[in-house]
Amino acid sequence: MPPKTIRPPLGGIDPSVYVDPIREYGLKKGFLPTDPSEPTAARPPASSVPEAAPPRLIRPAPTRPWQAMLPDYLVEELRQAAAREGTAQKVVVLRALRQAGFRVEDIDLQDLRRR
């Protein structure tokens, strides 16, 4: 493998004009320098105030397949209702189950295809 040669600046542009301010900013913000030969800047002491926990993501409950044999007319009505509302048949069924008194969380009523 031939040794690396230092190339002259492109078109007379001095890269240090652009690289040095970027490197200084990175060192000031505590980023690691890209050149391992340069000394690293001292990191500021860690704050004694605990950081706020990131907001918890609310996700739909895990699902599993469930199959039922329904009359053709009911399957067709479900299909039409879902198409009319622009949602999935699952959402139509879950909404009906909620109205019947079953516990269905709001997040589970979202049509995941539309996220």
Q: Please measure the distance between the N-terminal and C-terminal CA atoms of the chain and give it in whole angstroms.
A: 52
Structural domain for 109, as ranges: 72-114
State which H helix or E strand residue 18 sits in: helix 16-28
- Residue 52, in any domain of the structure: no
Q: How does residue 35 score in pLDDT terms, banded at 50, 70 and 90?
A: low
- Residue 99, in any domain of the structure: yes
- Residue 77, in any domain of the structure: yes
**What's the pLDDT tens digit per position in 36-65?**
555 555 555 566 666 777 777 778 888 899
Contact (Cβ atoms closer than 8 angstroms) between residue 104 and residue 98: yes
Number of domain units in the chain: 1
- Residue 81, in any domain of the structure: yes
- Residue 29, in any domain of the structure: no
In the Cβ-directed half-sphere of 111, how many Cα atoms lie within 13 Å? 13
- Residue 103, in any domain of the structure: yes
- Residue 85, in any domain of the structure: yes
For the whole model, what pTM was predicted? 0.49
Question: How many angstroms separate the CA atoms of 37 and 16, rounded?
Answer: 16
Residue bearing tokens 């900013």 = 25
Percentage with pLDDT > 90 across the chain: 35
pLDDT of res. 112: 72
For residue 58, which of 91, 107, 104 has the smallest C-alpha distance?
Answer: 107
Instruction: Indicate whether 68 pLDDT > 60.
Output: yes
Instruction: Indicate whether 94 pLDDT > 90.
Output: yes
- Residue 105, in any domain of the structure: yes
